């Protein structure tokens, strides 16, 4: 098994945290994992992205050039990374903030209004976790219990009160994606 992820958006959207939860879930399920934050002055605000690799074998390149799965949180990231997604890969777009289309007919595209879903829960900051939940349904590499354990591991001690909120958001994302797929309103292009 080898999964390469690119997760991209604005600073403050919880991009790096989402990547770390994913990487930890990999660790907790006995895989080899790497996580790399976007590197450069942009670390201090503005756009943020991280690359996660989860593999049965030793990870070769921790730098992800052509991800199997991309989680895209804003339009600039879509423009920057959309073309790089591996053919037959998957793109999860935060549709609240992305009005444009991704012109690829060789990948599966899922539009998740994660911000709206999170706001309905009363936790606008949890859109990242809604996206993570949707990912669990769309590309079921991990089960919920592994994600739950990873969230508990990654959340810093001064933010423990957010664990429950985050896990609820994950569940909402799972439900939304299930409905989307089973209800037949998956937006697949091409």
Comparison of 64 and 114: residue with beta carbon closer to another protein: 64
* Cα separation, 9 vs 116, whole angstroms: 16
CB of 35 to another protein, least distance (A): 4
Q: What is the C-alpha to C-alpha distance for residues 154 and 100, in angstroms, rounded to an integer?
A: 33
User: Would you say 52 or 127 has its CB closer to another protein?
Assistant: 52
Q: Which is nearer to another protein, 19 or 82 (CB)?
A: 19
Name the 3-class secondary structure at 180.
Answer: helix
Q: Would you say 13 or 33 has its CB closer to another protein?
A: 33
Nearer residue to another protein within complex by CB, 53 or 169:
53
Q: How far is the CB of 24 from another protein (least distance, A)?
A: 6
Residue 123: partners with Cβ closer than 8 Å, 6 or more residues away: 165, 168, 169
In the complex, least distance from residue 38 CB atom to another protein, rounded to whole angstroms: 10
* Helices 15-28 & 127-138 angle (0-180, nearest 10): 40
> CB of residue 121 vs another protein: minimum separation in angstroms?
28
| CA distances for 59 relative to 17, 22, 33, 161, 167, angstroms | 21, 15, 7, 34, 28
Report, in Å, the least distance between residue 65 CB and another protein.
Answer: 5
Residues near another protein (CB under 8 A): 20, 23-24, 26-27, 31-37, 39-41, 59-63, 65
Asked if 106 contacts 125 with a C-beta cutoff of 8 angstroms, the reply is no
Tell me the C-alpha distance between 112 and 187, whole Å: 10
């Amino acid at each position: 098994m080898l999964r390469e992820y690119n997760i991209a958006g604005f600073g403050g959207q919880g991009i790096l945290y989402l990547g770390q939860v994913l990487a930890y879930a990999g660790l907790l399920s006995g895989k080899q994992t790497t996580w790399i934050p976007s590197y450069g002055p942009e670390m201090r605000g503005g756009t943020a992205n991280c690359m996660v690799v989860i593999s049965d074998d030793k990870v070769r390149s921790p730098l992800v050039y052509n991800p199997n799965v991309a989680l895209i949180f804003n339009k600039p990231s879509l423009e920057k990374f959309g073309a790089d997604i591996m053919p037959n890969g998957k793109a999860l777009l935060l549709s609240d903030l992305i009005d444009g289309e991704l012109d690829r007919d060789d990948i599966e595209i899922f539009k998740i209004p994660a911000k709206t879903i999170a706001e309905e829960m009363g936790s606008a900051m949890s859109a990242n976790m809604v996206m993570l939940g949707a990912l669990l349904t769309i590309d079921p590499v991990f089960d919920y219990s592994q994600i739950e354990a990873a969230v508990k591991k990654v959340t810093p001690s001064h933010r423990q009160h957010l664990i429950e909120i985050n896990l609820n958001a994950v569940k909402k994302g799972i439900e939304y994606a299930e409905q989307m797929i089973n209800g037949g309103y998956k937006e697949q292009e091409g």
